[in-house]
Structure 1
């Protein structure tokens, strides 16, 4: 690792992993940035995609062709809640809302609300879920 960054919210490899020529190591992220990158990684990973951790991820892909209604919002909340509960222990998921859908670009925009447990602060991220294969990958939008 590149440096000994200490943070009470956590420190880890930056996502996507990049190497820093100056410190001759991996770019690290800490605090809020580390939590946000972790959530993006969880949401962008399909369960079964990682060989050594087949349960890791969030199964948003199964909702790709659903109608936007209260059932979809309820299903999104359920799937995201369980993914963050299992794989991101630093946050409490408080809810997800569908902000909109762009059929031309195949994007479903989801706002994910959460509270950081150790600081009791509320935050949210806007996650563009790509409905059409071959468009930008959600992890590339960071």
Structure 2
């Protein structure tokens, strides 16, 4: 029953199995892929659903300071609350990588509503993609 709610669908990015069939993602993997899809989509990028996505991309070329990290955390939290109903967002934090000054590591802790499982992921976001 819970796995029905968590869903199943094509894997993201699309892939092909060893048998030549399209790869599928199920349950928790599907949720993680959905989070990556939401965060990787700029607002306005989808023509038929321009409000879908995450405003973190508005921080491109911004200095890697506390204000930028705060805006990124807020953007990620708002996007996930709006577009991923299968999870509760517990915490979002942004850290800079000392080895890569233009990289923000967005750490997301969440709970899957269907089974109360805790999960987390790190989404790398480059403020300056030329680095």
**TM tier relative to shorter chain:** 0.7 to 0.9
Q: CA RMSD, aligned part only?
A: 2.3
Unaligned 5+ runs, structure 2: none
Paired position in structure 1 for 2:32: 36
Please report the TM-score for the alignment, with normalisation by the length of structure 1: 0.77
Unaligned 5+ runs, structure 1: 1-5, 136-142
Paired position in structure 1 for 2:81: 85
Summarize the Cα distance change of 1:102–1:108 in structure 2 as closer, same or farther, 3 Å threshold: farther
Paired position in structure 1 for 2:97: 101
Paired position in structure 1 for 2:17: 20
State whether residues 112 and 125 of structure 1, in contact with CA within 8 Å, keep that contact through their aligned partners in structure 2. yes
Summarize the Cα distance change of 1:30–1:134 in structure 2 as closer, same or farther, 3 Å threshold: farther
Please report the TM-score for the alignment, with normalisation by the length of structure 2: 0.82
Give the total of aligned pairs. Answer: 128
User: Larger RCO: Structure 1 or Structure 2 (Cα < 8 Å, ≥ 6 residues apart)?
Assistant: 2
State whether residues 64 and 101 of structure 2, in contact with CA within 8 Å, keep that contact through their aligned partners in structure 1. no
